[in-house]
């Protein structure tokens, strides 16, 4: 099984050093959406301040597989 890594970014970057073995890219995308859904409530302050929040998946070669982003914009 391929190994995937998840990176969370909201001004600072939290890198997944261990990764997770998953069946394929679709499975990695599904996990990224789960992580995003579970962690976005704790990013409220970042988003209310006009910041961005991203969960990105990379493969073992550090190639980008998927990214989901929330953007807060104040006008």
pLDDT at res. 4: 98
- On the 0-12 / 13-18 / 19+ scale of CB atoms within 10 A, 57 is buried
Tell me which H or E stretch contains 36.
helix 25-39
What mean pLDDT comes out for the span 58-67? 96
Considering the chain, what is the average pLDDT of its residues? 96
11, pLDDT greater than 90 = no
**Quick check: helix, strand or coil at residue 27?**
helix
pTM of the model: 0.90
Q: Provide the residue count of the chain.
A: 75
For residues 45-49, give the mean pLDDT: 94
Q: What is the mean pLDDT of residues 41-65?
A: 96
**Paired residues of 9 in beta bridges:** 13, 54
Question: What integer pLDDT is reported at residue 10 of this predicted model?
Answer: 93
């Amino acid at each position: 099984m391929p190994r995937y890594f998840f990176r969370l970014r909201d001004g600072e970057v939290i890198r997944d050093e261990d990764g997770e073995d998953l069946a394929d890219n679709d499975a990695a995308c599904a996990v990224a959406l789960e992580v995003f859904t579970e962690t976005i409530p704790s990013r409220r302050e970042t988003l209310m301040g006009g910041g961005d929040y991203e969960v990105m998946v990379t493969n073992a070669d550090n190639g980008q597989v998927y990214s989901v982003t929330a953007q807060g914009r104040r006008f």
